[in-house]
Structure 1
Amino acid sequence: MKKLMVAATLGGLMMAGGAAQAADYQIDKQGQHASVNFKISHLGYSWIYGRFNDFEGTFSWDADKPEASAINVTVNTESVDTNHAERDKHIRSEDFLNVAENATATFTSTGVEVTGDNSAKVSGDLTLNGVTKPVVLDANFIGEGDDPWGGYRAGFDATTTLKLADFGIDYNLGPASETVELILTVEGVRQ
């Protein structure tokens, strides 16, 4: 789940419509201006929302040539947080993320297809629960510019839906809970 969220967020960073030159950005982990969130149905009766509290990444983005952008993100899977300690413990277990064997999830972009003035599809390889699969993130450019501390920032969001079984997660939560939606928001600081 973490990887997907991170992938979606990073995909947004590759949108057209921003800075006039290619630049490298560090995801603003220190200021908590980025998030990797997810939502999954609980038995078809309600939604469970969660996030990964610990992740890091970088991206390279050129508004004039967004198809040449690149993104790399690593998520600490043990940092999963659904605001319920016992459920989080279960998600960390072998039934789901198996954090004892798979302490991180990663996303590495492989391509960007611009789909509009501020949107793109970001393809990449997501490794989650020890399984690597290609995923596509629907990304959007939010904005960019100078910050009050003398830096320059760019922000994006992205979403994707993952099939849990594709990543070796086959714990039976019922047919309404076979997929998880990742919602990523990323703000990067130009280096």
Structure 2
Amino acid sequence: MTTTPLTSLTGNYSLDPAHSQIGFVARHAMVTKVRGAFNEFEGTAHLDGSDPDKSTASVTIKTASIDTRNEQRDGHLRTNDFLDAPTFPEITFVSTGVKSRGGSDYQVDGNLTIKDVTRPLSIDFEFQGSATDPYGNLRVGFEGSVVISRKEYGITWNAALEGGGVLVGDKVTLEFEISAIREP
């Protein structure tokens, strides 16, 4: 990886879904975690290397593309108990601001919409660097995460456990591993 000066990175970018991942982690049965990802998404960003605060980003995720490596669980997650994919086929995030936190750390503020509920949130990202790939494309990489409450998005289904507690935790960690290509 070669790191290009941030000022040289200004431009419009498209997410590369083949080299990016949007995942999540949720507590299951109060003793373990279930990890999953969304396999279909697209996004764009405008990076302003001279003034990162003027950068923007938006992402659209296909709700039905949820994948926890268990088809029965994935089917349940697509129902109205959770994401209601037939009624709400997309999850969206649109940035409202970007703040440099010093070094390679950034905070991206925006609105996350799940099941037609839109809430503001801030996602912490770390700039991983930039590189020119073998095809001559300038790529940038970012990694970030944020914890959300699924109840705040109307996702309240649960089941009580015999020994106390619930089957599905309220807190969900969203994880982003982003590779984006600058548009010509």
Q: Give the structure 1 partner of residue 176 of structure 2.
A: 184
CA displacement 1:147-176 (0-9 Å, x = unmatched): 111111111011000101110001125287
Could you tell me which of 23, 31, 44 is aligned with 2:11? 23
Structure number with the bigger relative contact order (C-alpha 8 A, sep ≥ 6) is 1
**1:56 shift after superposition:** 0.3
Provide the rounded CA distance (Å) in 1 between the counterparts of 2:39 and 2:59.
13
The runs of 5 or more residues in structure 2 that have no matched partner are: 160-165
Partner of 2:49: 63
Q: Please tell me the residue identity of whatever aligns with 2:146.
A: T
Q: Distance in 1 between matches of 2:95 and 2:168?
A: 29
- The residue number in structure 1 matching 2:162 is none
Unaligned runs of 5+ residues in structure 1 are 1-16
**Which residue number corresponds to residue 115 of structure 2?**
129
What is the RMSD of the two structures over their aligned residues, measured on CA atoms? 1.4
Asked whether the 8 Å contact 1:18–1:144 carries over to 2, the reply is: no
CA distance, structure 1, for counterparts of residue 167 and residue 94 of structure 2: 30
SS of equivalent to 2:6: coil
What's the CA shift for 1:19?
4.6
Check 1:95–1:114 CA distance in 2 against 1; reply closer, same or farther (3 A cut).
same
1:158 correspondence with 2:150: no
TM-score with structure 2 length normalisation?
A: 0.90
Greater Rg over alpha carbons, structure: 2
Match of 1:96, SS? coil
Change (3 A) 1:21 1:47: closer
Equivalents in 2 of 1:19, 1:169: separation in Å?
41
> Shift in Å at residue 18 of structure 1?
2.8
- Shift of the alpha carbon at 1:119? 0.5
AA aligned opposite 1:89: G
1:115 pairs with 2:121: no
1:1-38 per-position Cα deviation (integer Å, ceiling 9, x unaligned): xxxxxxxxxxxxxxxx6352520001112xx1100000
Q: TM-score, normalised by structure 1?
A: 0.87
Contact 1:19 1:144 in 2 (8 A): no
Q: Which amino acid aligns with 2:80?
A: E
Looking at structure 1, the residues matched to 28 and 129 of structure 2 have their Cα atoms a distance apart, in angstroms, of: 34
The separation in 2 between residues aligned to 1:176 and 1:19, in whole angstroms, is 44
Deviation at 1:126, TM superposition (A): 0.6
Partner of 2:101, secondary structure, is strand
Taking the aligned partners of 1:143 and 1:85, their CA distance within structure 2 comes to 36
* Residue from 81, 86, 92 that aligns with 2:67: 81
